[in-house]
């Protein structure tokens, strides 16, 4: 079951999993759980993790996308939650961004319409590659047509 109303305890538990914790750049899992409750964050979750969207503009048209799943949630579960979340987000959003890290699971699915915004750039957390998804690209993607 996909939900949008999980509390900080849920997100702290997911962030505390050893496979997730090592991707947090040293942030304590409790801080991740607390930050999920900020008003500019929307999150969609299943049993083993979820997707978070952080509003980047004052009107809610542009959002930054983050995934956090335990290994048991990788694959189909994460895919299903993302489909659900994108249908909800694109009721008002126009553009979503994703930062791909050196973790191969951070690359967004091309079948959803995500496209690179440029090459990798060195940042304070290492090399990042930006991806974008517009509402128009989502609505013409294979994933949307199958949803």
What pLDDT score does 92 carry? Answer: 96
Q: What are the pLDDT digits (tens) for 111-123?
A: 999 999 999 999 9
> How many whole angstroms separate alpha carbon 70 and alpha carbon 60?
28
Q: Which of 30, 34, 53, 35 is nearest to 43 (CA)?
A: 53
| C-alpha dihedral, 85 to 47 to 27 to 112, nearest 10° | -30
What pLDDT score does 119 carry? Answer: 94
What pLDDT score does 1 carry? Answer: 85
**CA separation, residue 91 to residues 64, 87, 95, 105, 132 (Å):** 16, 7, 11, 26, 17
Q: Which residues of the chain have pLDDT under 50?
A: none
CATH class of 8-146: alpha beta
Domains of the chain, residue spans = 8-146
What pLDDT score does 6 carry? Answer: 81
């Amino acid at each position: 079951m996909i939900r949008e109303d999980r509390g900080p305890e849920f997100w702290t538990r997911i962030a505390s999993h050893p496979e997730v914790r090592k991707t947090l750049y040293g942030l304590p899992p409790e801080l991740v759980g607390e930050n999920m409750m900020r008003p500019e964050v929307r999150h969609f979750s299943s049993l083993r993790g979820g997707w978070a969207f952080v509003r980047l503009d004052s009107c809610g048209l542009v959002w930054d996308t983050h995934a956090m799943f335990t290994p048991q949630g990788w694959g189909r579960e994460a895919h299903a939650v993302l489909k659900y979340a994108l249908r909800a987000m694109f009721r008002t959003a126009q553009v979503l961004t994703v930062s791909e890290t050196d973790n191969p699971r951070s690359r967004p699915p091309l079948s959803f319409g995500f496209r690179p915004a440029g090459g990798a750039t060195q940042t304070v957390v290492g090399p990042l590659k930006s991806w974008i998804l517009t509402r128009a690209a989502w609505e013409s993607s294979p994933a949307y047509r199958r949803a």
